[in-house]
């Protein structure tokens, strides 16, 4: 794993910088990949995408939720987003992270929050996707999905191809609408493929399986090799364009997003918004340090320098202390 990836992953987990960033508003170029800090700003961005024939999944950003009050605030905000989708008749659904609704606080508390959200969305026929986080949250997230799916059919989740157990989970959940991704978190070797070639190969295998046997596949990637492979595969296997969609993140490869929509493929853009943008943005930089060109333009901004400076200091100290520990 590269130093740059380690660096940005460490920054993404830095609570001090995370809370500082909330006060500073969108900085570091984050405004090109985060659709505003308020529901109103997000709705305007979504309308523009919908006008181009692009559907969206909306993520109310939130990190480090360890207090009930924060989880309740997140729930209120997500309920407001559901109301906004309904009121503005947006072509949109919701993506949420179980930790934001209190999974690290208490399982039952989180379950109740998610149930309220899923029930409200169900009344408006809005789909809810549970984003998948690191391995430690996988099992409880699937358990909540299992439990809620007994009463609601408007839910689905994500399969991360780097996990060895991804195959098993994909088969188990083939009758759900599923998003298939490579995987964004740093996971240990005994749980997940580390080599990019292995992850990519497993990713293709899982996509093919779900296209052939699954209910509806959301293929979430910016990788044109994968996209081209899927285009060929669906043609060869006579798979209807109604059975799958491509997904990409807001602000990334926007030309390709539009091109795919114009070619008649279903396309869904993942639209993050909110004041808690920092961890999300750092993970995007970790995945692809070339995204730093988003940051480069902002480098002469004083707050940017402070943020990166503190981050670099914390990261180097962490590495030095790890080396000392041997």
- The catalytic residue positions are 131, 179
Nearest alpha-carbon partner for 175 in 211, 147, 217, 214: 214
Strand partners, 93: 57
Q: Which of 107, 209, 252, 265 binds ligand FDA (CB under 6 A)?
A: 252
Q: Which is nearer to ligand FDA, 78 or 181 (CB)?
A: 181
Region of residue 316 (phi > 0: left; psi between -120 and 50: alpha; otherwise: beta): alpha
Q: Which is nearer to ligand FDA, 85 or 159 (CB)?
A: 159
* Among the residue ranges 18-26, 45-53, 218-226, 300-308, the one whose residues contact ligand FDA (CB under 6 A): 218-226
- Binders of ligand FDA among 124-153, rule CB under 6 A? 131-132
Q: Which of 45, 99, 141, 160 binds ligand FDA (CB under 6 A)?
A: 160
Angle formed at CA 105 by CA 104 and CA 106, multiple of 5 degrees: 100
Q: Which is nearer to ligand FDA, 24 or 85 (CB)?
A: 85
Q: Count CB neighbours of 190 within 10 A.
A: 6
The encoded tokens of residue 54 equal 């692009």
Q: Which is nearer to ligand FDA, 24 or 214 (CB)?
A: 214
Q: Which is nearer to ligand FDA, 24 or 63 (CB)?
A: 63
Q: Which of 107, 185, 209, 265 binds ligand FDA (CB under 6 A)?
A: 185
* Among the residue ranges 61-69, 81-89, 217-225, 301-309, the one whose residues contact ligand FDA (CB under 6 A): 217-225
**Residue that the structure tokens 């503005």 belong to:** 88
Q: Does 86 bind ligand FDA (CB under 6 A)?
A: no
Q: Which is nearer to ligand FDA, 118 or 180 (CB)?
A: 180
Q: Does 5 bind ligand FDA (CB under 6 A)?
A: no
Instruction: Map residues 92-131 to x or -, x wherever contact with ligand FDA holds by CB under 6 A.
Output: ---------------------------------------x
Q: Which of 248, 260, 294, 307 binds ligand FDA (CB under 6 A)?
A: 248
- Please report, for residues 39, 253, 257, 275, 305, the alpha-carbon distance to residue 31 in angstroms, rounded to integers and kept in the order given: 15, 15, 18, 11, 17
- In order, the DSSP letters of 227-295 are HHHHHHHHHHTT--GGGEEEEEETTSSHHHHHHHHHTT--EEEEEEESS--HHHHHHHHHH-GGGHHHH
Let me know: does 24 contact 303? Beta carbons within 8 Å.
yes
User: What span, in angstroms and rounded, lies between the C-alpha atoms of 9 and 185?
Assistant: 8
Dmax over Cα atoms in the chain, in whole Å?
58
Cβ 179 to ligand FDA shortest distance, Å: 6
Under 8 Å CB-to-CB from 44, ≥6 apart: which residues?
36
How many amino acids of this chain bind ligand FDA (CB under 6 A)? Answer: 21
Give the residues lining the site for ligand FDA (CB under 6 A): 131-132, 158, 160, 181-185, 220-223, 247-249, 252-253, 270, 287-288
């Amino acid at each position: 794993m590269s130093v740059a990836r380690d660096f940005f992953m460490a920054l993404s987990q830095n609570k001090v910088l995370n809370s500082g960033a909330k006060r500073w508003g969108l900085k570091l170029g984050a405004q090109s990949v985060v659709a505003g800090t308020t529901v109103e700003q997000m709705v305007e961005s979504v309308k523009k995408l919908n006008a181009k024939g692009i559907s969206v999944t909306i993520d109310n950003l939130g990190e480090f939720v360890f207090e009930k009050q924060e989880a309740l605030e997140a729930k209120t905000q997500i309920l407001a987003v559901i109301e906004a989708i309904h009121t503005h008749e947006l072509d949109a659904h919701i993506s949420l992270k179980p930790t934001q609704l209190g999974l690290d606080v208490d399982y039952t508390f989180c379950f109740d929050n998610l149930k309220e959200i899923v029930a409200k969305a169900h009344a408006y026929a809005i789909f809810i996707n549970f984003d998948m986080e690191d391995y430690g949250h996988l099992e409880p997230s699937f358990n909540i999905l299992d439990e809620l799916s007994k009463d609601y059919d408007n839910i689905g989740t994500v399969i991360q191809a780097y996990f060895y157990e991804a195959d098993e989970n994909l088969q188990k959940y083939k009758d759900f609408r599923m998003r298939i991704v490579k995987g964004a978190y740093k996971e240990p070797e005994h749980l997940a493929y580390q080599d990019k070639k292995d992850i990519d190969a497993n990713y293709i295998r899982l996509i093919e399986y779900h296209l052939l046997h699954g209910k509806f596949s959301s293929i979430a990637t910016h990788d044109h090799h994968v996209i081209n492979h899927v285009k060929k595969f669906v043609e060869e296997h006579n798979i209807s364009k109604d059975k799958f969609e491509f997904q990409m993140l807001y602000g990334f490869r926007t030309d390709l997003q539009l091109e795919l929509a114009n070619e008649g493929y279903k396309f869904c853009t993942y639209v993050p918004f909110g004041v808690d943008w920092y961890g999300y943005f750092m993970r995007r930089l970790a995945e692809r340090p070339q995204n730093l060109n988003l940051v480069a333009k902002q480098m002469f901004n004083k707050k940017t320098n402070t943020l990166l400076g503190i981050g670099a200091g914390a990261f180097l100290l962490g590495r030095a202390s790890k080396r000392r520990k041997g």
